[in-house]
Amino acid sequence: MSVTAAQGFEASGVAVGLKSTGKPDVAVVVNRGPLKVGAAVFTSNRAKANPIIWSQQAVQDGVVEAIVLNSGGANCFTGSFGFQTTHQTAEKAAALLGVSAGDILICSTGLIGTGDGVFRAKVLEGVEQGIAALATDGGEAASLAIMTTDSKPKRSIVTTDGWTIGGMAKGAGMLAPGLATMLVVITTDAMLDAAAADEHLRHATRVSFDRLDSDGCMSTNDQVTLMASGASGITPTPQAFREALTAVCIDLSEQLQSDAEGASHDIRIVVENAASEQDAVEVGRSVARNNLFKAAIFGNDPNWGRVLAAIGTTDAEFDPYDVDVWMNGVRVCTQGGPDRPREDVDLTPRATRLVIDLKTGTAGAIILTNDLTHDYVHENSAYSS
Amino acid sequence: MSVTAAQGFEASGVAVGLKSTGKPDVAVVVNRGPLKVGAAVFTSNRAKANPIIWSQQAVQDGVVEAIVLNSGGANCFTGSFGFQTTHQTAEKAAALLGVSAGDILICSTGLIGTGDGVFRAKVLEGVEQGIAALATDGGEAASLAIMTTDSKPKRSIVTTDGWTIGGMAKGAGMLAPGLATMLVVITTDAMLDAAAADEHLRHATRVSFDRLDSDGCMSTNDQVTLMASGASGITPTPQAFREALTAVCIDLSEQLQSDAEGASHDIRIVVENAASEQDAVEVGRSVARNNLFKAAIFGNDPNWGRVLAAIGTTDAEFDPYDVDVWMNGVRVCTQGGPDRPREDVDLTPRATRLVIDLKTGTAGAIILTNDLTHDYVHENSAYSS
């Protein structure tokens, strides 16, 4: 059910030929209220696609009536024609729904540079078909329509004390801090005002999507949107809502990680005893972005030297000669020297756990990444995306 | 001849079993004077190997009598025993040469964590054999002994107006800003004082080795050393010396690039019309480190969208919607939109030229990198290094 698990929402997914495969490629999610609260976070890339530029403006008043998403074209670096396409998409959805275009968010994903007249015509057709197909059980169809190279749809639902949060995500690689080629829509029927929605969403993404770094590459089109209908009539405590929202975001992040293009290991980098959370994140990311370490994990090689070489490039507070490193439960390095033999580490399972003990404080962070594989290279070199 | 092309130097390369292949693995380069000037630059990684820690101290007085280099073990993260090994190596070389241990530099390369008693015994044996084998034509042997995964030795010589600069380098991947798994020794018979040697070396490495970024990974063992004997009796102008030294460093950098592990394209990223040199370097590096771009080049795909997505992550001064991008002479993107068709770009040659016009100033920089290939993944996953 994903985005229609919560009361007050309708959704759809339709096929209009943006994907050469003929699979669904336009999704619409509409909030029927009574509240029309919306919040969103966006890619931090300065090279922003047209739908990002539009949505950043549209969400500012905290009111979101609907969101239109398409796969099969990023509408990025497509000039003023591309921006007009986004504008027309919002206008058309607004007219059909009887609302203001400024309350419609737009998301696109696919190849950068795709956004010509054919693309525009198909997207506008998708808006018409998508709004005609809206249904209270349309969440599944919507989650299929936003897929690109994803091997499966990603959905998550938390229901508690009479209110629900449901979400869908697309992304399979190109995931990086600041969010990357990731489209996420989360809905809730909890009572929530716009300021709280924004604050909770920023917290939840900071500790979930923002700590997923599959290949260090940041996209131009990422957007995570939260919409609240208030249809349950229930106002959760801020803490309860934040915990549930964070759980949904972490669940979707882990689904994105495990579907990363070409990966054979899901690597959980746990940084412990850091002087600050920021230090822990910096150290974790330096390892997540180190191609040598990632290739070693692909080869089932517990190469802790590459871990220390990676963290040595950071400014975090620690002594490189007093760091401990565990791989899958085996301490392979202690205090700047080898500890237990490499042969003791079994890296054959897909789930890989790297623990880095910095010994300088009490903060920590978890970064999720993947290994660097032949299939990753193949999937990112054999066709344009 | 590499390091023995200049007068006043002797060198050798011997095999003592550090490499399982039985190939030469210890090199010695000795300065016979009359000057004993030395300067060196080191990895900026905080995780520094024992030879780096030693050499950083030893070079401070600007006097260098000799340098001992070994392959087959990095002597990094090998604890105080490893540091004692480096110390003993310098003491032994000093005793045999009749000089001070504080004027001996040490370099090691190979697997991190390698530096046990067997390693120590072999290195000390290598010092003895290497000093016994010193010869005025030993430069070639020395350049072979420092190779690890290199497919060929790297040497460069410039002779002009009666004085000579000669150098050798090892490295084949793991090359990154701040220098990475790169050992370079450069000798000259020009008259030069220590302050000038240091200044010229820093300039030359800044625009050569420091702009070579094969895979974004920074090593723990990098060192570039310049030794001057003054044996020619000639004092070049500072400008003439700097130009010749820079030429040798750029030549060696390009040899390192073209021997990068598993690469199928040598990519020259030319950033033009930047507001500052720093901006140009930042923009060039962001592309050099983007796995998606590098995989696309491997697939001969002129994916300029990935270039713009990469530079959008930087803080450099430019408008993402007013940047032009050329690939192998074809302008594929202009002012934030597609320009000439992708089909016009021929990416089949190994030499690849990417030009990024930022249109904000008059500064520029060239960054050298490689593509991301199946062979890169294979070579960095199939064995420890």
Q: Which helix (H) or strand (E) holds B243?
A: helix B238-258
Q: Say yes or no to pLDDT of B291 above 90.
A: no
Distance CA A310, CA A287 (A): 5
* A295 in B contact zone (CB under 8 Å): yes
Q: Per-residue confidence at B179, pLDDT binned at 50, 70, 90?
A: very low
Q: What is the DSSP track for B318-385?
A: --GGG-EEEETTEEEEETTEE-S-GGG----SSEEEEEEE--S-SEEEEEEEE---HHHHHHHHSS--
pLDDT computed for residue B139 by the predictor:
97
Distance from CA of B155 to the nearest CA of A (A): 26
Distance from CA of B166 to the nearest CA of A (A): 30
Mean pLDDT, chain A, as a whole number?
A: 92
Among residues B109, B181, B246, B352, the one annotated as catalytic is B181
The two tokens of residue B270 are 């030319």
Q: Per-residue confidence at A213, pLDDT binned at 50, 70, 90?
A: confident
Indicate the residue of B47, B308, B314 with minimum beta-carbon distance to A309: B47
Q: Say yes or no to pLDDT of B177 above 50.
A: no
Q: Say yes or no to pLDDT of A110 above 90.
A: no
The two tokens of residue A267 are 């690597």
pLDDT computed for residue A172 by the predictor:
59
**Lowest-pLDDT range of A110-119, A348-357, B54-63, B165-174:** B165-174
- pLDDT tens profile B72-122: 999 998 888 999 999 999 999 999 999 999 999 999 998 888 889 999 999
Residue extents of the structural domains in chain B: 2-258, 266-381
Distance from CA of A47 to the nearest CA of B (A): 5
Q: What does CATH list as the number for A266-381?
A: 3.10.20.340
* B78 in A contact zone (CB under 8 Å): yes
Residue tagged 């800003």 (tokens): B177
Among residues A188, A173, A148, A203, which one has the least CA distance to residue A37? A188
Distance from CA of A144 to the nearest CA of B (A): 25
Can you tell me the mean pLDDT for A166-172? 89
Q: What is the DSSP track for B75-127?
A: --S-HHHHHHHHHHHHHHHHHHHTS-GGGEEEEEBS-TT--SHHHHHHHHHHH
Distance CA A332, CA A339 (A): 5
Give the whole-number percent of chain A exceeding pLDDT 90: 74
Among residues B76, B132, B127, B66, which one has the least CA distance to residue B102? B66
Q: Say yes or no to pLDDT of B178 above 70.
A: no
The strand pairing partners of A38, in sequence order, are: A227
Q: Per-residue confidence at A385, pLDDT binned at 50, 70, 90?
A: low
Can you tell me the mean pLDDT for A175-202? 84
Distance CA A195, CA B320 (A): 31
Indicate the residue of B291, B299, B376 with minimum beta-carbon distance to A382: B299
Q: What does CATH list as the number for B2-258?
A: 3.60.70.12
* B237 in A contact zone (CB under 8 Å): no
The two tokens of residue B163 are 């004085």
The dihedral through the CA atoms of B122, B50, B85, B9 has a sign that is positive
Pair B383, B173: CB distance under 8 Å? no
Same fold, A2-258 and A266-381: no
CA atoms within 13 A on the CB side of B76: 32
Q: Say yes or no to pLDDT of A147 above 70.
A: yes
Pair B178, B279: CB distance under 8 Å? no
- Residues in chain B with CB shorter than 8 Å from the CB of A77 are 305, 308, 321, 333, 336-338
Among residues B119, B59, B56, which one has the least CA distance to residue B89? B119
Query: CA angle, B30 as apex, B26 and B32 as ends, to 5°?
Result: 165
Pair B293, B287: CB distance under 8 Å? yes
The amino acid at B11: A
Can you tell me the mean pLDDT for B148-162? 92
* Chain-chain contact of A335 with B79 (C-beta, under 8 angstroms): yes
Can you tell me the mean pLDDT for A119-126? 98
Distance CA A352, CA A346 (A): 9
Can you tell me the mean pLDDT for B155-168? 96
Q: Per-residue confidence at B340, pLDDT binned at 50, 70, 90?
A: very high
- pLDDT tens profile B355-379: 999 999 999 999 889 998 888 888 7
Neighbour count for residue A348 (Cβ, 10 Å)? 10
Pair A320, A302: CB distance under 8 Å? no
- pLDDT tens profile B14-58: 999 999 999 999 999 999 999 999 999 998 888 889 999 999 999
The two tokens of residue B8 are 């006043």
Q: How many CB contacts within 8 angstroms connect chain A with chain B?
A: 188
Q: Nearest chain B Cα to A297, which residue?
A: B381
- Residues in chain A with CB shorter than 8 Å from the CB of B380 are 291-292, 295-296, 299, 372
Highest mean pLDDT among A97-101, A212-216, A291-295 belongs to A97-101
Among residues A221, A28, A21, which one has the least CA distance to residue A114? A221
pLDDT computed for residue B383 by the predictor:
59
Pair B47, A337: CB distance under 8 Å? no
pLDDT computed for residue B172 by the predictor:
60
Can you tell me the mean pLDDT for B298-317? 91
Query: CA angle, B119 as apex, B113 and B125 as ends, to 5°?
Result: 155
Comparing B349 with A338, the larger pLDDT belongs to: B349
Q: Is the peptide bond before B34 cis (omega within 30 degrees of 0)?
A: yes
- Residues in chain A with CB shorter than 8 Å from the CB of B309 are 45, 47, 112, 217-220
- pLDDT tens profile B220-263: 888 999 999 999 999 999 999 999 999 999 999 999 888 887 88
Q: b or e along B280-308 (b: 16 or more beta carbons within 10 Å of the residue's beta carbon)? A: bbbbbbbbbbbbbbbbbbbbbbbbbbbbb
* B378 in A contact zone (CB under 8 Å): yes
- Identify whether A334 is a catalytic site residue: no
Can you tell me the mean pLDDT for A203-226? 86
pLDDT computed for residue A1 by the predictor:
80
Q: Say yes or no to pLDDT of A177 above 60.
A: no
Q: Say yes or no to pLDDT of B159 above 60.
A: yes
